[in-house]
Structure 1
């Protein structure tokens, strides 16, 4: 997931307007009249086969999803390894309060070469850890296992206590350290429940060195030591995922590509490397996380493989390709480093699949799993913006893997977006090189998902298969989930092309969020599935094995011309604008501004940036500010020409010229010199989300004045740069609110009729199963229905499935699907 697409959660009112207001809303105060539809099912027909692995989950350590999340460790910074490289506010004592003489040291007295820092406690000194977020959470009657590594000259008693503001949470424990580094253990049984506990280690009369201070609930998922937080793991398991993609997206291949070097230490901002994450936890490295914190690797590759096995999912690891993605456009040209990473990948396959007698299979067996994990798919790279450089390296990875492991499917990718120059070039290279599977990622508005149900209808059936590894509609409301559900009917219909799909991201800790939306939310004591989770769970647990051909009528189109005011903006750039002119299609002048009289015609919509008239031009001078939109004109304007002179003065990108501006979340802008000045494109913003309408490789020169022109006619726009036509598009796709797909469960013979109705009105529908289908009269019904603005929270769950029965099934029958709903009808005997 690229960092430029930052937290784009939708305003509830805006989303409600999208799904209710623009899609057949009733007149104010009036009840919505049902809309009539038909669904014709070829019950005897057979469509694409749906693999058991089609729907899965994507785990990335983002939003504190691992440490402080699904990894059950309760102590933050347990090995004193936090540094400013992880986060500018970090020190080795972050998470700890110390009393007396307590010094973090990095010297030859350390626990081991990878666990560099340790805490030296003087006589009577103490160190107290407050865990993650609000404190250490414990539950009355539950047992918590404590451990630490310590050394001392002579016997050094250490008192371990667990308490909150109201006093002790269990009986204090004592261990006595003596001599060289050794592991010491104790256990607490909580006397009462608390969410604000703090763990203290206090030295007696003898100094001691301590490291790897740990507290784990004994009641982990599957009861495993060094295990997973039970409620979170069980919510993932309840999805019945077909695969588990790990260990992430951006964190996999960003940063430097340096390996571990005992002679010179290790670079913290290196890419994720699996060998750092296995073996005893006290010997695993920590690393700076791409998302601005530290990752301990306590949750490592062995644990990922084990979790995939526990939930019955296919493991799908992703390794770095030595081409950075996620906005960091660099490629490493070091043949020896490439060779080492390829060998590391071969070693990974051996770790997963090799016999216990092999070098890396033996390491897996030593960790407790002598049998192979059964790896079949492996991804190389993530969201690279340099498709040619990526493909050159991908081919070397693939050749080496196929030479030794021809049964492994090696997965490529198509960059960070659903379209554009990078996407097109990446797909061309993937096709030209006969790639088996391509990982697509995109985060778009709900409207985009409603408009693009047929995206994969036109994909080459004989070309590379699609792994839709990351997608979401930029919000956690039920309206977002409805749009995603409508899109998922298209994924299933095209299951011969889309072989794998996973919503992303999976987990988010309340108060520690870098990205929204997310599927499962949690705090220290509770977890809850979002509306999107409930939708995904419905599809994932009732997928079926084969598509049954079906057709449905559509909703009458209701669209007018592109309307809106005009705007100017910048992104991490200083730019100057002059001679803005807007004329109607008839030539009449709507706006003319050379800024001789100041900037009184313009409204600064976002409050960002520093705008002022300078030397006869309108200048935004803050090159650090992002999205500095100013607007002018009438939101009712349509069919007009916008002309402006634009000059980049300094900064990372170019300039942004907007049209069709309704408000800050609903507009189009021509992004010239965007994406780090690597490309230019038109982006449509709907209710705060955005997607690219068209794109090319145009870059913007600093100091050069460009003539920018946009001609808006109806739903079509033509764009001109310095008098030459740059591109054009027509935004006339129907945001269809009524979508369906039918699948068959081969084990039972049941038909599963899945219908999404993402509009204000009920869908009164005639369903034809075909002559001779002979279904049983009673169908099992599962329905998700709620207000489109509804969100599940820690305290309320308005979006949840309801089950019922319908007794009117026949070869031809009628069913009314509620407004704002997803309905699964399981029909027997058809």
Structure 2
């Protein structure tokens, strides 16, 4: 494809690999790269738990996803607190007199609503996505809790059907008296993805709750289990750990809702104790991501799934400091004490003997043996590092006092750098924290530029848990950049002890966040290009790093060039007195808007721009990324000055420079992230990365003088005449990366090479004179166009297995363009 190099964000010239001299004694065969491996030495040890998975209930990852329940809103608990469009009958259609009731006759205190059906009324559930999916010949288990007010029976007819008719033979139950559970099973007569489940009363009124339909064939045959195809795709990764239940899900919401004295609250913070025990007694809750969560998939099921996949369980508990764009610290000593005790109880639930209070509850659920919990995270992406750390220390002290065997994991906020990151790391280092959880979502360019990120980390300091990372897309180009970065993670396995791509799952009809590793609808699932890449690395980790060095790609890097721009994000702002001058003082653009806005083009096509009172105003306070541009894309070495005033809205304003188009630019984002900080962001093919940031916020109604000086690849920024910061954007986006590891069990050397460029890489691989190796290697290759993306209909990114015959202590191998290649070489 024509723009393959640009898609990876590589600088012009980086991909033009020169021909390097062959190693001494080799034939005159031309090579572009060399890899020198010292097989006589051993580098960092790689733990078995190195790569794992991060699970969060986002994108309908639980209900309608990994949790195998086929009925949506099974207990009539959907509420506007979850989503403004919800009602207690969301996903249900009724005929006749049917009413949702919330009174003292309910099933239990944590399951507030139930449905009453009059005689000869019915209710039909539409499931998730297009409907309830069933497969011919498979069994489906139905259950309902029912109550009658009279002495007689209230027969119910249960049908599973779609628009073409019956999907299984109708079944019947006949409730009588108080609340009781009734169960039957269906066997599907044909396959359908658009099924419906109807419950019809016959002759007597009845109250219903917890209407459920489960496939009998769940993962590992577990009751209340997991959707088999999704669980098997996760298990196929052979994860070393499972981090759960989130993410932003953990540390946001109303922590005060823990208080019993406050009474019942519909939206509560995540509490692990809500999620165990009989499913009909578990509370439902408003999910941070805008829907309802039933907690049918709870802590017991998470621990069980970790055990079933051979993964180390790694739960994360809230620290009473919100993150994910919310900045609030709950200052309540009693509430903090309760949270800490809940965490101690969680450890007892996981590991305690059956004679203990919480170990007994685990045993009652069917697992008398401990779950072997060794690691536990406290908090997630807090933007208030000092407030978080004050609470973290109390958690750690209480846990280590009772359970010194547990590694307590801290975190460093939501970004890869910046003031929050730096402060959090300082606090973690000073307190000798064992492990710090880092999160970042950046452009492919950033991942290609930062392979050496962990080379300079303190080997004696806290270890790194890279709990969330991704390159903002699901194309193979994204996966290539992540793979290049992962070679640096493995090389630094003495520092980075755990790593997991995020998020894990996405239902294609309920997406809050992209990219995602595994996609699905109600009857199909497919792994993304990122999934295939992660699986290749996770199943071929090795036990230790073998020291190696590779030659680099000759690169040329010109000055930053591009036009200038103005933009807003969920904010109304006014701009005036725009001036661009060359380094020699020559005026390139002057605009006080007295003559209108003819010099500006609506690059993004969003927002409402107009000249008002002599200023250029974007007045739509809800529009995002409203970029307008002016000038020449060839401009370089210039100064940009502008006056900017926030009029209303959530954030501040953006001043752009080096603008090529709507996907390739730099902008100074002042008052971004809900006016919590400011940063310079670099956009490459629509994906962004942060180059420099601080805690500057913007006042409404105040005029700010902004100045940006561009010199070569160095940029200096001034706010109201004072230097705000500077940076030099000169990191090389190296497209050729490698790492070598050793599998001690098999004796294999695993040579892992990423070639993220549009030309093949002819490479000389030197294993050391006299290295005893087999003459052939097993090869696994992922190769595709950078824009290739796996979907439900096609999978252009998939591994290809082959055998390479020609291995010696020094040999040549040509790595295809846009490829990830693993060579497994037997050693003597």
- Residue of structure 2 in register with 1:4 after alignment: none
Distance 2:258 2:756 in 1: 52
Question: What residue in structure 1 maps to residue 663 of structure 2?
Answer: 665
Greater alpha carbon shift after TM alignment, 523-532 vs 301-310: 523-532
Large movers: runs of 4+ above 4 Å = 12-16, 20-27, 259-265
TM-score by length of 2: 0.97
1:742 is matched with 740
Cα distance between partner residues in 2 of 1:217 and 1:264: 39
Give, in whole Å, the separation in 2 of the partners of 1:730 and 1:78. Answer: 56
Provide the C-alpha distance between the structure 1 equivalents of 2:263 and 2:208, rounded to a whole number of angstroms. 21
Query: How much does 1:510 deviate?
Result: 1.3
1: CA distance, partners of 2:715 / 2:10: 24
Query: Who is 2:338 aligned against?
Result: 340
* Partner residue in 1 for 2:696: 698
Q: Deviations over 1:521-577 (max 9, x none)?
A: 111111111010000000000000000000000000122111111011112222111
SS in 2 for 1:345: helix
Conserved 8 A contact 1:20-1:759: no
Conservation of the 8 A alpha-carbon contact between 1:758 and 1:819: yes
Q: Considering only aligned residues, what root-mean-square deviation do their CA atoms show, in Å? A: 1.5
SS state at 2:532 partner: helix
* CA distance in structure 2 between the partners assigned to 1:185 and 1:262 by the alignment: 34
Confirm or deny: 8 A CA contact 2:375 2:409 kept in the other structure: yes
The aligned runs of 1:461-472 (5 Å cut-off) are 461-472=459-470
Task: Determine if the alignment matches structure 1 residue 158 to structure 2 residue 156.
Answer: yes
Report the CA distance between 1:652 and its aligned residue: 2.2
629, 638, 660: which is aligned to 2:636?
A: 638
Change (3 A) 1:381 1:762: same
1:602-621 equivalences in 2 (<5 Å): 602-621=600-619
Q: Per-residue deviation at 1:705?
A: 1.4
Partner residue, 1:46: 42
In structure 1, what is the equivalent of residue 73 of structure 2?
77
Aligned to 2:112: 116
Residue 755 (structure 2) aligns with: 757
Q: Distance in 2 between matches of 1:509 and 1:571?
A: 28
Kindly report which structure 2 residues correspond to 1:343-382, keeping only aligned pairs within 5 A, or say none. 343-382=341-380
**Aligned residues of 2:15 and 2:757 also touching (Cα < 8 A):** no
Q: What SS class does the counterpart of residue 429 from structure 2 fall into? A: helix
Corresponding residue for residue 5 of structure 1: none
Report matched runs for 1:708-787 at 5 Å: 708-787=706-785
1:350 shift after superposition = 0.2
> How many angstroms apart in 2 are the aligned matches of 1:61 and 1:363?
24
Of 202, 206, 212, which residue of structure 1 is paired with 2:204? 206
Structure 2 CA distance, aligned partners of 1:253 and 1:495? Answer: 29
**Structure 1 contact 19–760 (Cα < 8 Å) conserved:** no
CA distance in 1, matches of 2:63, 2:690: 35
Q: Counterpart of 2:597?
A: 599
The answer (yes or no) to whether the contact 2:780–2:822 under 8 Å persists in 1 is: yes
> Distance between the aligned counterparts of 1:418 and 1:26, measured in 2?
27
DSSP-derived class of the 2:306 partner? helix
1:448 maps to which of 446, 449, 460: 446
Question: What is the distance in 2 between the residues matched to 1:670 and 1:34?
Answer: 45
Query: Which residues in structure 2 correspond to 1:553-632 (within 5 Å)?
Result: 553-632=551-630
610-619 or 489-498, which deviates more: 610-619
Q: Distance in 2 between matches of 1:355 and 1:34?
A: 65
Query: What are the equivalent positions in structure 2 for 1:171-570 lying under 5 Å apart?
Result: 171-259=169-257, 265-570=263-568
Cα separation, partners in 2 of 1:732 and 1:627, compared to 1, 3 Å? same
Distance 1:224 1:608 in 2: 50
CA distance in 1, matches of 2:644, 2:605: 21
Q: CA deviation at 1:636?
A: 1.2
CA distance in 1, matches of 2:57, 2:710: 44
Q: CA deviation at 1:263?
A: 7.2
Tell me which residue corresponds to 1:19. Answer: 8
Distance 1:289 1:16, change over 3 A: farther
Which segment is superposed worse, 791-800 or 485-494? 791-800
Partners of 1:575 and 1:669 in 2: CA distance: 16
Q: Identify which range, 103-112 or 670-679, moves more after superposition.
A: 670-679
Of 143, 147, 152, 2:143 maps to 147
Which consecutive unaligned segments of at least 5 residues does structure 1 have? 1-11, 28-32
Contact map agreement 1:493 1:741 (CA 8 A) in 2: yes
* 1:58 alignment counterpart: 54
> Is residue 125 from structure 1 mapped to residue 151 from structure 2 by the alignment?
no
Please say if residues 571 and 627 of structure 1, whose CA atoms lie closer than 8 Å, have aligned partners that are also in contact: yes
Deviations 1:65-111 (A, max 9, x none): 10000100000000000000000000000010000000000000100
Change (3 A) 1:476 1:772: same
Does the 8 Å CA contact 1:13/1:789 hold for their aligned counterparts?
no
CA distance in 2, matches of 1:20, 1:729: 19
2:132 equivalent in structure 1: 136
Give the aligned partner of residue 6 of structure 1.
none
Unaligned 5+ residue runs, structure 2?
A: 17-28
Cα distance between partner residues in 1 of 2:714 and 2:287: 43
Give the stretch that moved more between structures: 14-23 or 190-199. 14-23
Is the CA contact 2:11–2:733 (under 8 Å) kept in the aligned structure 1?
no
- TM-aligned CA distance change 1:427 to 1:34, over 3 Å: farther
Contact 1:25 1:760 in 2 (8 A): no
- Report the Cα distance in structure 1 between the residues aligned to 2:667 and 2:405, rounded to whole angstroms: 46
Q: CA deviation at 1:258?
A: 3.3
Q: Is residue 656–residue 666 contact of structure 2 (8 Å, CA) maintained in 1?
A: yes
Distance 2:91 2:177 in 1: 28
Q: CA deviation at 1:735?
A: 0.4
Q: Is the 8 A contact 1:329 1:385 kept in 2?
A: yes
Range with bigger deviation, 657-666 or 238-247: 657-666
Q: What SS class does the counterpart of residue 171 from structure 1 fall into?
A: coil
CA-CA distance at 1:675 after TM superposition: 2.1
Contact 1:611–1:620 (Cα < 8 Å) also in 2: yes
CA distance in structure 2 between the partners assigned to 1:388 and 1:605 by the alignment: 41
Q: Give 1:24 shift.
A: 5.2
TM-score calculated relative to the size of structure 1: 0.96
> Does structure 2 retain, via aligned residues, the 8 Å contact 1:510–1:522?
yes
CA distance in 1, matches of 2:727, 2:262: 55
Separation in structure 2 between the aligned mates of residue 488 and residue 801 of structure 1, nearest angstrom? 18
Query: Matches of 1:559 and 1:268 in 2, distance apart?
Result: 56
1:90 aligns to 2:79 (yes or no) = no
1:469–1:501 CA contact under 8 A, matched in 2:
yes
**1:773, distance to aligned residue in structure 2 (A):** 1.1
Q: Is the 2:409–2:436 contact (alpha carbons within 8 Å) kept by the matching residues of 1? A: yes
The C-alpha deviation readout for 1:425-446, integer Å capped at 9, x for no partner, is: 1111111111111110001111
> Counterparts of 2:669 and 2:769 in 1: how far apart (Å)?
55
Q: Quote the Cα distance in structure 2 between the aligned partners of 1:801 and 1:223.
A: 29
| 265-274 or 348-357, which deviates more | 265-274
Name the structure 1 match of 2:26: none
